[in-house]
Structure 1
Amino acid sequence: MPVVAGVDSSTQSTTVVLRDADTGATLGSGRAPHSPTFPPVSEQHPHEWWDATVAAFAGARAAASVRPDDIVAVSVAAQCHGLVPLDAKGAVIRPAKLWNDTTAAAEIAGLTEQIGGDAWTDRIGTLPPPSFTIGKLAWLKAHEPENFAALATVLLPHDYLTWRLTGGAQGGRAVTDRSDASGTGYYSAPEGGYIISVLDLVDAGKDWPAMLPEVLDASAPAGTVPSAVAAELGVRTDAVVGAGAGDQHASAVGLGVGPGEFAYVLGTSGVVFTTSENPVFDHTGIVNSVADATGRYLPLICTLNAAKVTDTVARLLGVDHAALERLALAATDGAGLRPVLVSYLDGERTPNRPRSRGLLAGISSETSREELALAAFEGVVLGMERGQRRMQQMGIPLDGRLLVTGGGAASAAYRQVVADVTGRAVEVTDAQDAVAGGAAVQAAAVLRGADIRAVRDEWAPASRVVAEPSGRDYSRLRDTYTRAADWTGLDDAFND
């Protein structure tokens, strides 16, 4: 039986999902952790991702009871925006700066001033925040000039793993796809190419075209797995390798999200995305119009703080996740007068407030543990829903299913708060690992020589309603949240 593998290399771990190449049935999965990061400085060594990938493949093969020779195609989806710098020999120069590393805020601000925020948005569809790769390149030149001088190849996390899959320093292919490239700040999906003039603002002396990976179509092969890599990874020699994708982009494929449908992704970050035939251009910087993994677009908003907010509040209250959920679901309405949490714990990306901190407003001597627990869930969701409303203001249709995915999707409290805040029924799918599952869809498309959209629709998982709006009125609390979230008084108070 031919098997395809999808890889999800996230901030926290690597997951491998194995699927029947003919039917799409999930056969098994494996996972291996990454070392934790602590924003605003968030770094991991790419070698760690590869080691985790090898371990996750071993776990997936054992769970699925498949042999290495059964695995005939592989594709990788990974966290976006990270900078993997290679030297002329293909060695990693320094640990990768990840998407949630916000130390390049000053560099992004300087580039935005030179280019013009509206002009930059009109080229790439997004006003780049500090997370984008272009800022990390400028940071590297400003703070580590020797490392910048050694820079010969610029890869994103999924590009690096694809390069390793196809041979690495022994002949690996440096490629990317338009979904991940569109989150760099120097690739224009609407124009279909890199914007070298933006990179020249970082350093006009670099031969940037020679340093950047080739951008492949979604269903195009990146190459095959050579024998030495196949033996290490546990797949068939010459297994085909897909172009890969960004994580949220692959998730949209794995969930089978169509036009008008949208998803709340509750993971380390909070993401709201939908699919679109055409790009959008939001000069406020709230909505990012990145390319998707099928040749179209994926309008989205991304907040820096999501499930880790409830992790933190659970720790502060001295309870586990199950107890935090019970507390939150037991909270009374309080006529909209209960506390509200602005959950900018590690700064924030949307809105662009990298120096901000969290704010608990409206606390009184009568505040209960239940209200504090509910405020944690609401603080995450209200920030995401604010971005959703901006998407709707821009005319992006969001009248279809509302899907919830990510680690937080298993939480009854998150599901209910999303339903209550949005006033919409919440659905989940049978896809347990949507990002890795979407990468497996791409692997199957490449294996078949088929359009990825056709395989996406063929393998789309079923969904079911798991929460309905309770009728709780959020008009007053939403207004309180907005006023508290717009206060910038703490942005510099806890910074040097």
Structure 2
Amino acid sequence: MARVLVAGVDTSTQSTKVRVTDALTGETVRFGQAKHPDGTSVSPDAWWDAFQAAAKEAGGLDDVSALAVGGQQHGMVLLDRNGAVVRDALLWNDTRSAPQAAALIATLGAAPATDDEIALGMPSGGDDAAVELRGKQRWVRAVGSSPVASYTLTKVAWTAEAEPENARRIAAVALPHDWLSWRIAGYGPVDDGGDAHLDALFTDRSDASGTSYFDAAANEYRRDLLALALAPAYGGTGSVDSYGTVSAPTEATAAADRITLPAVLGPRDAAPVKADPSIAGKDVPGGCILAPGGGDNAMASLGLGMAVGDVSISLGTSGVAAAIAENPTYDMTGAISGFADCTGHFLPLACTINGSRISDAGRAALGVDYDELAALAAQSEPGAGGITLVPYFDGERTPNRPDATATLNGMTLANTTKANIARAFVEGLLCSQRDCLELVKHLGVEVRRILLIGGGAKSEAVRAYGPGVLEHDIDLPATDEYVAIGAARQAAWVLSGEAEPPAWPLTIDGTLTGEPTPEVYAQYVKYRG
């Protein structure tokens, strides 16, 4: 009997990857990849071109029965009524909307705390610090996370303020994975008077939960918060009273109600549309089913087969610590993102803007390759002779310091050696992820297992010092494309109609162990502040 094939698509910051997969075993059958352009503001057409090139390299998708797309989260794709892109997409790592994020927090924090809120620990003062903390807590209660410059809503607010004419053209707001799925279904820009089928846009809970206008616990969009962000484009400002009632200019409220937001599908729901046969499923009776897809971090957790108690640390362009939780998590400091996962559970997550590129910066500064960086670091000791790198090269999201820069601290004439600087770069990368891990643990998440993935996980130096800095054994899944695997696994799940996703094997290449080095993290905390 001919095997059934599914495809998992990973449209990430850097590239699109297409993994054609055996639906029963999870085995890779074919694979293709194509790069995306650099930058934090990118035309979505580049993703479409990359998908087509990657699909061609993977041998085409004519024989694929189901397909799902995992995508970089938070990216803002604005469409007009003809389905044309209004402006280049702003990606998750574009921090220009930091002032709008702060303003949205202040707006929700402005109203005095109610007696019920004070009883739950909300500050009652009127000073800036109290207003900020009160705003963060109200956002967390509303949508699970407090806004930072990465999130979609802040980018909508930036557009409304900086480009009001573009904001007034918005007919739909999509995320990268939503938009690419819509294009795979055969939709795209149409001429004036045509039907762009914006109502065919779809998404899932995991990606929608990263927008700041979707409440994953209640499974509903908060269009009132979208109106708040749109207000400047219509000549006004919004406000929120102590009971959470949002007031925005009438035109902004009408626009938010009119704008198409992608339908949020359940984990096992097939999209109401199928792939365009010219793109996928031409040789499959009934065509290629489209699964909901999801955010890249949730897809990676599905690809890893993570369960409650598992934490993944992914070192890619960003650094991400993500845990599986049975119930919604609410971090009232606003540091943890209370996202949903791809299975109906939740995915509390802390993300750094600076990931494996920290090692790249170290290589560039020292004029060495990865192996030479590791060899230099090995000549140093834990704590790098007293030197600490605080690695906020592109600003930072965890902690929320969008305007920060990186600093090397504790340098003296005696300790300023190539070996110590190399070690400081590796330890700075690991300590930034330890920050994320500590935030996840602070929510009461029990950490039973740590899985280290991503390009940065290949570093011999990261592997050597990771257990000491994190003070935990680390499992190393075999190097693979876990976002694409998770997307393929979801596609196979939807195709099967079963209650649980298929049980595909996970290969663990080894477990890293080492003596704890708490002094390294303590030194980092001192300089990080």
1:465 aligns with 510
| Alpha-carbon offset, residue 59 of structure 1 | 1.7
Give the TM-score of the pair, scaled to structure 1: 0.91
1:148 aligns with 167
Q: 1:15 aligns with which of 14, 17, 25?
A: 17
1:48 aligns with 46
Amino acid at match of 1:152: A
1:177 aligns with 204
Amino acid at match of 1:177: D
1:305-333 Cα distance to aligned partner (Å, 9 max, x none): 01111111101111112211222233233
Q: 2:449 aligns with which of 373, 398, 401?
A: 401
2:302 aligns with 253
| Alpha-carbon offset, residue 236 of structure 1 | 8.4
Mapped contact 1:15–1:29 kept (Cα < 8 A): yes
Map 1:308-347 onto structure 2 (within 5 A).
Answer: 308-333=357-382, 337-347=385-395
Work out the CA distance in 2 between the residues paired with 1:224 and 1:474: 53
1:106 aligns with 99
Change (3 A) 1:365 1:125: same
| Alpha-carbon offset, residue 424 of structure 1 | 1.8
**1:89 and 2:82 matched:** yes
Amino acid at match of 1:485: R
Map 1:368-447 onto structure 2 (within 5 A).
Answer: 368-398=417-447, 400-430=448-478, 432-447=480-495
**1:225 and 2:275 matched:** yes
Mapped contact 1:415–1:466 kept (Cα < 8 A): no
Residue 9 of structure 2 aligns to a residue in which SS? Answer: strand
Amino acid at match of 2:323: T
**1:188 and 2:215 matched:** yes
1:57 aligns with 55
1:391-411 Cα distance to aligned partner (Å, 9 max, x none): 21221111x221100111111
Work out the CA distance in 2 between the residues paired with 1:76 and 1:388: 27
Work out the CA distance in 2 between the residues paired with 1:28 and 1:371: 43
Mapped contact 1:70–1:236 kept (Cα < 8 A): no
1:117-139 Cα distance to aligned partner (Å, 9 max, x none): 21111122111211110000011
Q: 2:518 aligns with which of 471, 474, 482?
A: 474
| Alpha-carbon offset, residue 70 of structure 1 | 2.0
Work out the CA distance in 1 between the residues paired with 2:104 and 2:334: 15
1:120 aligns with 139
Work out the CA distance in 2 between the residues paired with 1:234 and 1:164: 19
Work out the CA distance in 1 between the residues paired with 2:505 and 2:148: 32
Map 1:235-384 onto structure 2 (within 5 A).
Answer: 238-333=287-382, 337-366=385-414, 367-384=416-433
Work out the CA distance in 2 between the residues paired with 1:371 and 1:136: 40
| Alpha-carbon offset, residue 378 of structure 1 | 1.0
Change (3 A) 1:357 1:235: farther
1:64 aligns with none
Change (3 A) 1:332 1:225: same
Work out the CA distance in 1 between the residues paired with 2:268 and 2:358: 37
Tell me how many residue pairs correspond in the alignment: 469
1:492 aligns with none
Residue 75 of structure 2 aligns to a residue in which SS? Answer: coil
Mapped contact 2:64–2:280 kept (Cα < 8 A): no
Higher Rg: 2
Amino acid at match of 2:501: A
| Alpha-carbon offset, residue 370 of structure 1 | 1.5
| Alpha-carbon offset, residue 72 of structure 1 | 1.4
Work out the CA distance in 1 between the residues paired with 2:512 and 2:417: 25
Mapped contact 1:425–1:465 kept (Cα < 8 A): no
1:454 aligns with 501
1:6-40 Cα distance to aligned partner (Å, 9 max, x none): 01111111111111012211223211111112xxx
Q: Where does the alignment leave 5 or more consecutive residues of structure 1 unmatched?
A: 62-66, 487-496
Residue 375 of structure 1 aligns to a residue in which SS? Answer: helix
Work out the CA distance in 2 between the residues paired with 1:247 and 1:68: 21
Amino acid at match of 1:30: G
Q: Where does the alignment leave 5 or more consecutive residues of structure 2 unmatched?
A: 109-134, 189-195, 230-251
Change (3 A) 1:269 1:256: same
Amino acid at match of 1:357: T
Amino acid at match of 1:34: H
Residue 32 of structure 1 aligns to a residue in which SS? Answer: strand
| Alpha-carbon offset, residue 180 of structure 1 | 0.4
Q: What's the C-alpha RMSD, in Å, of the aligned pairs?
A: 1.9
1:409-455 Cα distance to aligned partner (Å, 9 max, x none): 1112112222111122221123500000000001101111223x432
1:238-294 Cα distance to aligned partner (Å, 9 max, x none): 211111100000000001111111111000000011101001111112211100011
